[in-house]
């Protein structure tokens, strides 16, 4: 066969070119001529190559990560040309800290890779704006920084004058997960006494079961510590979509022969790579955890040595009243925070060391051999052990019994319980979806028990709660104003539900009786217990507000019963609503003033939030677009104006309980008398003074783009130079007590509310779901691969990778029953309203469930009706108890989550009339 060679082909073109010339089309092809080797110097027209050369040319390279709530924390090189970011590329130079563990390179995700385009898209804010029409009307006037901050300053002072301190909500959302950016609003809130909600529970991310058990929900593994595990259960997490830069360590563990399993209602992008997927029924996880416990106990797979030393399982419990035996029961004036073991060697009760009331802060048992089982008598009081109580409860959860709830076959439960028990290092990973369920506490507590029974703690594994808090004393000092003054911290779920007027919506959705059968409480009881927690002083709540400044917080998008929530906040904050943001998100839309913030590549900053030891450095690669300013500089300017106006208006110190609110010196305080005026000042201060950064110079940090943190970064124990970080080794190796009432991993809680709700030991409850309402379909809204919440959700490149508009996932069987085709627009509805979305077939989801990724902005929905409008939340009353050792309001450790996935829906094909809207086409 004759083959056209490239050279012949070009010659042919040349001839045609001549023909074209003859016919008069001179402009088109007259410059084509036969040529030889395209790479040789004779090649006549090389100018076009410059197009490509120029594409890969730049003026300079900066560094940044993304300051968003993604857990990734990846360092990027940022390429700048003519003052514009043209692209970004992963740094990929992190050192391998241990030759036997894979390195952390490269880190990144597809959202980070397109930020250079997103930062210049149409929703980017560029100038300070003042509302020109009604709130939310979308009419804006561009004003100067001077005017904006002066007007805001006067309103802040007005609110103080009219109503006193405590009426300003200054909540910072999850969009600022970096040290410099995050410290500014916190420092401001500390100075004005602003209301600040717990950053974890406000979104539903606090693993309360882990706190109850370990006294610290934020002590977990670095991702490289997953690598040497030989059993990993992806309990409620989808790391391939939500932990993109770290997930590889899970799959690399397979090289060591690790068994990886997953529980999820759908065959999610992580389940597909596991050895076993357990298709669990939504919201039934505590039953699975308890069935593991049941098998471990029935088959006596437990490890007594670990249980005796590390847990409260051998502590004595009174048989007469079900309370732990306390020193106060035996000794006049004795402590109620000192507890007892039954010593098998001496045949008597002995004080257990290491509890909150005990001076001897050690877990070492010495000569004592505590009994795990049996009944005893101490000074006439009949007692047994916590373990006996746990056994009694666990006996109710045989795999045959739990099958009905979980859909996991008894043989599978037995098989996996045995694997878990036999593993050298077993990790149960509970993602944040855990804390988005009303039974979160039971899930974490149940799995913590299964792990503790089988001796998994410290180097041998444990519960992975998806977060490691590093030790940052200098950051803390800045954010909390040296602890000298404090913001008004509030439990996230409680504050949002009450201030957001969500109770009516909750009531509308749930059927009281059915709810109680599932969760153990009904709405009235829940409300009464919320009130009791406030009245008892267990949880703080500061009531209605008059003004609001929100920073990096898409609060009107993320909250439940969202429309009511927004209306309530806008009604209360009638005097002032300021939004500080990088883009016009669905919350900024409603503000009186919008202040434009510098984005990731436009400010100086540091980020350590994530699961690794590297602090990424943000070097302000480009000046901010338009008139944007870094968050720190915005707060500094705002305090400057408040101070000026306070002085001009003769405002002196304002008494606020024990402290004064000194609006007339607020700028001097905020900036430390001018030492910390800009984000760069703060950046330099933190780099140079933080012990965990080991004295690295600003120049070196800026040049490299990351800092390797030293051993002082570890909060509970040192972060060893060449070892992955395993949680609680200070306890398992160092024998230091846990930060719990008994000093041990806790499986007994005799708080009156735990007694009332029959939850003194780990047990199981179901989530609300369809059985607690009149709507038949389960519904969950996990996190999207194509955005971090609402960030980047409208980016053109990311929209191309998916359906490009809000969509639900539906089983084709259910779709067929309802006459729905893939791609159809459907209506989801319940007692609180409806929303529309495109149907996407997803055969792996159960036929009675709907899934929809969260994070779409309301304006992307038909009629601007987002799913969160019709979602009702619940609060778990147990998460609201206080006054019991480590169970008291502690920021980011103990308080109630706003739970997300309790509501259910019905579905129908949308009619043409219903979706008659330009956005629907």
Question: Which residues of the chain form contacts with ligand MGD (CB under 6 A)?
Answer: 67-71, 173-176, 181, 203-205, 236-238, 241-242, 263-266, 268, 280, 282-283, 285, 431-433, 551-554, 557-558, 580-583, 585, 597, 599, 631, 780-785, 787-791, 854-855, 867-868, 871, 900
Specify the length of the chain in residues. Answer: 921
Alpha carbons 145 and 129: distance in angstroms, whole number: 9
Examine residue 496 and tell whether it contacts Mo ion (CB under 5 A): no
Secondary structure element (H or E) that encloses residue 216, with its range: none
Minimum CB–partner distance for residue 70 and ligand SF4 (Å): 3
Rounded-to-integer distance, Cα 447 and Cα 867, Å: 31
User: What is the rounded CA–CA span in Å between residue 205 and residue 901?
Assistant: 13
Site for Mo ion (CB under 5 A): which residue of 205, 568, 575, 834? Answer: 205
For the bound state, the minimum distance from the C-beta of residue 440 to ligand MGD, rounded and expressed in Å, comes to 10
Quick one: 416 or 739, whose CB is closer to ligand MGD?
Answer: 416
- Distances in whole angstroms, Cα of residue 426 to Cα of each of 253, 420, 448, 519, 573: 12, 6, 11, 29, 49
Residues 732, 608: Cα–Cα separation, whole Å: 26
- Alpha-carbon distance of 869 to 872, in angstroms, equals 8
Residue 440: CB minimum distance to Mo ion, A: 13
Minimum CB distance to ligand MGD smaller for 472 or for 607: 607
219 binds, among ligand MGD, ligand SF4, Mo ion, none (CB under 5 to 8 A by kind): none
* Residue nearest Mo ion by beta-carbon distance: 205
Question: At its nearest, how many Å lie between ligand SF4 and the CB of residue 469?
Answer: 18
72 vs 431 by CB, closer to ligand SF4: 72
Non-local (6+) Cβ contacts of 531 within 8 A are none
- Which of ligand MGD, ligand SF4, Mo ion, none does 73 bind, CB closer than 5 to 8 A by kind? ligand SF4
| Shortest Å, Cβ 279 to ligand SF4 | 28
Residues 228-247 that bind Mo ion (CB under 5 A): none
Half-sphere exposure of 798 (CA within 13 A, CB side): 24
Stretch that binds Mo ion, among 109-117, 198-206, 461-469, 825-833 (CB under 5 A): 198-206
- Smaller CB distance to ligand SF4: residue 108 or 193? 108
Nearer of residues 211 and 886 to Mo ion, judged by Cβ: 211
How far apart CA 296 and CA 314 sit, in angstroms, is: 17
Task: Supply the minimum distance, in Å, between the C-beta of residue 90 and ligand SF4.
Answer: 8
Check if the beta carbon of residue 20 is closer than 8 Å to that of residue 33.
no
To ligand SF4, the closest distance from the beta carbon of 242 in angstroms equals 9
Tokens of 517: 């059968």
Neighbouring C-beta atoms of residue 855, cutoff 10 Å: 22
CB of 907 to ligand MGD, least distance (A): 17
> Residue 249 CB, nearest distance to ligand SF4 (Å)?
15
Tell me the window of 201-209, 311-319, 401-409, 758-766 that interacts with Mo ion (CB under 5 A). 201-209
Q: What is 126-160 written as a DSSP string?
A: -S-EEE-SSTTS--EEE--HHHHHHHHHHHHHHHH
Least Å from the CB of residue 711 to ligand MGD: 28
Considering CB distances under 5 to 8 angstroms, the limit depending on partner class, which of Mo ion, ligand SF4, ligand MGD, none binds residue 515? none
Helices (H), 510-621: 512-519, 523-535, 555-558, 562-572
Nearer to Mo ion, 432 or 884 (CB): 432
Specify the residue, 563 or 585, whose C-beta has the smaller distance to ligand SF4.
Answer: 585
3-class secondary structure, 610: coil
Residue 192: strand, helix, or coil: helix
Distance of CA 261 to the CA centre of its chain: 23
Give the one entry of ligand SF4, Mo ion, ligand MGD, none that residue 790 binds, where binding means its C-beta sits below a cut-off of 5 to 8 angstroms depending on kind. ligand MGD
Q: Which is nearer to ligand SF4, 744 or 789 (CB)?
A: 789
74 binds, among Mo ion, ligand SF4, ligand MGD, none (CB under 5 to 8 A by kind): ligand SF4
The string over 33-70, giving b where at least 16 C-beta atoms fall within 10 Å of a residue's C-beta and e elsewhere, is eeeeeeeeeeeeeeeeeeeeeeeeebeeebbbbbbbbb
Joined tokens for residue 492: 């996230």
Locate the DSSP E strands across 334-423.
Answer: 340-343, 348-351, 375-378, 381-385
624 DSSP β-pair partners: none
585: partner contacted, choices Mo ion, ligand MGD, ligand SF4, none (Cβ within 5-8 A by kind): ligand MGD
Task: Tell me whether residue 440 or residue 788 sits nearer to ligand SF4 (CB atom).
Answer: 788
Residue with Cβ nearer ligand MGD (488 or 629): 629
Q: Which is nearer to ligand MGD, 219 or 337 (CB)?
A: 219
CA distances from 599 to 406, 499, 583, 698 (A): 44, 30, 9, 21
- For residue 261, the partner it binds in Mo ion, ligand MGD, ligand SF4, none, with Cβ less than 5 to 8 A by kind, is none
Residue 65 contact, options ligand SF4, ligand MGD, Mo ion, none, Cβ 5-8 Å cut-off depending on partner type: ligand SF4
Q: Pick from Mo ion, ligand MGD, ligand SF4, none: which does 431 bind, CB < 5 to 8 A by kind?
A: ligand MGD
Count CA atoms closer than 13 A to 887's CA, side-chain side. 26
By C-alpha distance, which of 731, 258, 229 is closest to 460?
Answer: 229
Cβ atoms 683, 180 nearer than 8 A: yes
**Closest separation between CB of residue 110 and ligand SF4, Å?**
8
From ligand SF4, Mo ion, ligand MGD, none, interface partner of 265 (C-beta below 5 to 8 A by class): ligand MGD
Minimal distance, residue 263 CB to ligand MGD, in Å: 4
Residue closer to ligand MGD (CB basis): 460 or 519: 519
Of 207, 13, 202, 87, the residue nearest 789 (C-alpha): 202
d(CA 495, CA 516): 23
Print the binding letters for residues 417-446 with Mo ion: x by CB under 5 A, - otherwise: ---------------x--------------
Residues that bind ligand SF4 (CB under 6 A): 65-66, 68, 70, 72-74, 107-109, 111-112, 244-245, 788
Give the residue among 762, 759, 758, 757 at the shortest CA–CA distance from 745: 762
User: What value, to the nearest 5°, has the Cα angle with vertex 469 and ends 465 and 471?
Assistant: 160
The item of Mo ion, ligand MGD, ligand SF4, none sharing an interface with residue 854, based on CB under 5 to 8 Å by kind, is: ligand MGD
Partner whose footprint covers residue 166, from ligand SF4, Mo ion, ligand MGD, none (CB < 5 to 8 Å by kind): none
Least distance in angstroms from the C-beta of 203 to ligand SF4: 16
Query: Which among 842, 763, 845, 853 has a CA at the least distance from the CA of 804?
Result: 853
Q: Tell me the closest approach of the beta carbon of residue 67 to ligand MGD, in angstroms.
A: 5
Q: Measured from the CB atom, is 749 or 772 closer to ligand MGD? A: 772
At closest approach, how far in Å is the CB of 522 from ligand MGD?
21
Contacts of 446 (CB under 8 A, 6+ apart): 209, 285, 286, 289, 290, 292, 293, 762, 763, 764
Would you say 236 or 293 has its CB closer to ligand MGD?
236
Task: Report yes or no: 354 and 368 within 8 Å, Cβ to Cβ.
Answer: no
Contacted entry of Mo ion, ligand SF4, ligand MGD, none for residue 242, CB cut-off 5 to 8 Å set by kind = ligand MGD
* Closest approach of ligand MGD to the CB of residue 405, in Å: 11
In the numeric block, which tokens belong to residue 251? 């799959």
Smallest distance, ligand MGD to C-beta of residue 584, A: 8
Which residues contact Mo ion (rule: CB under 5 A)? Answer: 203, 205, 432
């Amino acid at each position: 066969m004759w083959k056209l060679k490239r050279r012949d082909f070009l010659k042919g073109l040349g001839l045609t070119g001549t023909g074209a010339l003859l016919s008069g089309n001179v402009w088109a092809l007259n410059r084509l001529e036969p040529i030889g080797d395209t790479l040789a110097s004779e090649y006549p027209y090389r100018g076009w190559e410059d197009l490509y050369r120029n594409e890969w040319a730049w003026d300079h390279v900066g560094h940044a990560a993304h300051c968003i709530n993604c857990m990734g924390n990846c360092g990027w090189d940022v390429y700048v040309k003519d003052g514009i970011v043209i692209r970004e590329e992963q740094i990929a130079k992190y050192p391998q800290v241990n030759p036997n563990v894979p390195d952390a390179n490269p880190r990144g995700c597809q959202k980070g890779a397109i930020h250079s385009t997103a930062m210049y898209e149409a929703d980017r804010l560029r100038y300070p704006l003042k509302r020109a029409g009604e709130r939310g009307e979308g009419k804006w006037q561009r004003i100067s920084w001077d005017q904006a901050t002066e007007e805001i300053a006067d309103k802040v002072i007005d609110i103080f004058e009219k109503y006193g301190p405590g009426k300003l909500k200054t909540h910072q959302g999850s969009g600022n997960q970096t040290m410099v950016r995050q410290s500014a609003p916190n420092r401001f809130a500390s100075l004005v006494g602003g209301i600040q909600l717990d950053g974890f529970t406000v979104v539903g991310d606090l693993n309360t079961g882990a706190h109850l058990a370990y006294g610290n929900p934020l002590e977990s593994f670095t991702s490289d510590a997953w690598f040497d595990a030989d059993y990993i259960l992806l309990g409620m997490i989808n790391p391939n979509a939500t932990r993109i830069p770290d997930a590889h360590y899970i799959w690399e563990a397979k090289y060591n022969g690790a068994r990886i399993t997953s529980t999820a209602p759908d065959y999610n992008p992580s389940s597909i790579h596991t050895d076993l997927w357990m298709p669990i029924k939504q919201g039934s996880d505590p039953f699975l955890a308890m069935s593991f416990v049941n098998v471990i106990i029935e088959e006596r797979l437990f490890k007594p040595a670990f249980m005796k030393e590390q847990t409260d399982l051998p502590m004595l419990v009174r048989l007469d009243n079900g309370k732990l035996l306390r020193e106060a029961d035996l000794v006049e004036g004795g402590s109620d925070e000192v507890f007892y073991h039954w010593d098998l060697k001496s045949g008597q009760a002995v004080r257990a060391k290491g509890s909150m009331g005990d001076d001897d802060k050690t877990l070492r048992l010495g000569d004592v051999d505590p009994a795990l089982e049996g009944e005893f008598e101490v000074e006439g009081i009949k007692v047994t052990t916590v373990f006996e109580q746990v056994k009694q409860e666990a006996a109710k959860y045989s795999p045959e019994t739990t099958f009905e709830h979980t859909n996991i076959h008894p043989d599978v439960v037995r098989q996996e319980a045995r694997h878990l028990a036999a593993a050298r290092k077993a990790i149960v990973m509970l993602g944040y979806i855990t804390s988005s369920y009303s039974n979160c506490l039971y899930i974490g507590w149940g799995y913590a028990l299964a792990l503790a029974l089988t001796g998994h703690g410290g180097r041998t594994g444990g519960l992975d709660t998806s977060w490691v808090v590093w030790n940052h004393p200098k950051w803390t000092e800045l954010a909390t104003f040296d602890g000298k003054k404090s913001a008004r911290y509030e439990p996230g779920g409680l504050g949002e539900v009450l201030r957001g007027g969500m109770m009516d919506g909750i009531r509308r959705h749930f059927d009281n009786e059915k709810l109680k059968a599932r969760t153990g409480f009904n709405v009235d009881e829940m409300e009464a217990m919320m009130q009791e927690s406030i009245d008892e002083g267990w949880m703080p709540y500061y009531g209605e507000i008059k003004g609001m400044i929100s920073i990096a917080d898409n609060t009107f998008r993320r909250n439940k019963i969202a429309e009511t929530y927004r209306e309530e906040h806008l009604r209360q904050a009638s005097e002032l609503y300021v939004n500080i943001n990088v883009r016009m998100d669905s919350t900024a839309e409603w503000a009186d003033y919008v202040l434009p913030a510098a984005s990731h590549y436009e400010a100086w900053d540091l980020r350590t939030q994530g699961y690794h030891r590297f602090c990424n450095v943000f070097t302000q690669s480009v000046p901010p677009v338009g008139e944007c300013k870094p968050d720190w500089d915005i707060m500094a300017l705002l305090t400057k104006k408040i101070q000026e106006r306070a002085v001009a208006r003769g405002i002196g110190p304002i008494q606020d309980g024990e402290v004064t609110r000194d609006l007339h010196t607020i700028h001097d305080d905020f900036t430390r008398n001018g030492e910390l005026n800009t984000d760069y000042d703060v950046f330099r201060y933190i780099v140079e003074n933080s012990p965990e950064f080991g004295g690295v110079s600003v120049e070196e940090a800026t040049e490299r783009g990351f800092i390797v943190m030293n051993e002082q970064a570890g909060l509970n124990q040192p972060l060893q130079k060449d070892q992955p970080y395993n949680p609680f080794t200070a306890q398992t190796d160092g024998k230091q007590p846990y930060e719990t009432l008994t000093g041990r991993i806790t499986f007994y809680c005799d708080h009156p509310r735990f007694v009332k709700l029959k939850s003194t030991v780990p047990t199981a409850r179901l989530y609300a779901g369809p059985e607690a309402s009149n709507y038949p379909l389960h519904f969950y809204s996990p996190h999207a691969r194509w955005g971090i919440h609402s960030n980047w959700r409208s980016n053109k490149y990311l929209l191309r990778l998916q359906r490009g508009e809000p969509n639900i996932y539906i089983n084709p069987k259910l779709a067929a029953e309802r006459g729905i085709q893939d791609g159809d627009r459907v209506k989801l509805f319940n007692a609180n309203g409806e929303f529309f979305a495109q149907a996407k077939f997803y055969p792996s989801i159960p036929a009675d469930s709907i899934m929809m990724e969260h994070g779409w902005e309301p304006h992307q929905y038909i009629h601007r009706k987002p799913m969160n409008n019709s979602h009702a939340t619940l609060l778990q009353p147990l998460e609201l108890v206080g006054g019991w050792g480590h169970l008291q309001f502690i920021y980011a450790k103990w308080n109630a989550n706003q739970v997300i996935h309790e509501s259910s829906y019905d579905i129908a094909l949308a009619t043409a009339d219903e979706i008659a809207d330009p956005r629907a086409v």
